[in-house]
Amino acid sequence: MVKQKIIDESKSYTFADYFKLNCPTEKVTAYFGYQHQRDELVLEIAAKPVERLAYLNDCLNKNIRHISLTGEAARREFLIAPILSELVYCTGVKITVEYSLYVNEQLQGILDYYLESKNNILIIEAKNADLQRGFTQLAVQLIALDQCADSAEDKLYGAVSIGDLWQFGILYRQSKQIVQDILFYQIPADAEKLLHILMGILEKA
């Protein structure tokens, strides 16, 4: 078996560099001492109704039909931002866009969206394409967050989205395990379910 060096310890890496590596997620996480596996996650789901669901679905449907979504910026603005705006309306959570995080020279960069409630932390990584490589980047971001977050919660939550498709992940801090959900949520079809999950994570008692 050929042993390939995934990460050069003498180099500096940003989170985005791990997307460019195009290496299996488990090899990247193993370098930092974390296990990676794929499984069906049992995610918290809020019971609170989405009051403006009809408006949100109408907005998303129009954006998909009438706007060219070939770039990451367009997907962030017209598919992801409307969902996060509704999340703010429903929960009052504060969202930091382009949150800068530095742990060391191999764990540094920008988190697209950083959401912190009194109960949980959730980060969201937006990509234009390639959800799997996007998840690798998200996994490294969760590892960086684990090494500097002072939250007492054992779970750190993350999601990667290409706008019309979302996937979740959880980092279990005590066991140093990252679980990648095998389920996907499509937009606009699963917008309500997605919002209930996002609200459930942030409002979990």
pLDDT in tens, 135-170: 999 999 999 999 998 877 899 999 999 999 999 999
Confidence of residue 25 (pLDDT cuts 50, 70, 90): very high
Confidence of residue 24 (pLDDT cuts 50, 70, 90): very high
Say if 176 falls within a structural domain. Answer: yes
Quote the number of domains for the chain. Answer: 1
Say if 10 falls within a structural domain. Answer: no
Task: Give the range of the structural domain holding residue 133, as residue numbers without chain letter.
Answer: 15-203
Residue 86, SS3 per DSSP: helix
Q: Estimate the share of the chain in helix, then strand, then coil, as percent rounded to the nearest 5.
A: 40, 25, 35
Report the alpha-carbon distance of residue 125 to residue 106 in Å, rounded. 18
Residue 171, pLDDT > 70, answer yes
Say if 9 falls within a structural domain. Answer: no
What proportion of the chain, given as a percentage, has pLDDT over 90?
85
CA distances to 7, 126, 137, 182 from 120, rounded to whole Å, are: 31, 20, 20, 22
Say if 1 falls within a structural domain. Answer: no
> Average pLDDT in the 177-193 region?
97
Say if 172 falls within a structural domain. Answer: yes
Say if 197 falls within a structural domain. Answer: yes
pLDDT tens digits along 66-112:
999 999 999 999 999 999 999 999 999 999 999 999 999 999 999 99
Say if 109 falls within a structural domain. Answer: yes
Cβ atoms 144, 179 nearer than 8 A: no
- pTM: predicted TM-score of the whole model, two decimal places: 0.94
Say if 170 falls within a structural domain. Answer: yes
Using the structure block, give the residue that is written with the tokens 């109408």: 58
Q: For the chain, what is the mean pLDDT?
A: 93
Confidence of residue 4 (pLDDT cuts 50, 70, 90): low
Q: What torsion, rounded to 10 degrees, do the Cα atoms 192, 194, 198, 204 define?
A: 80
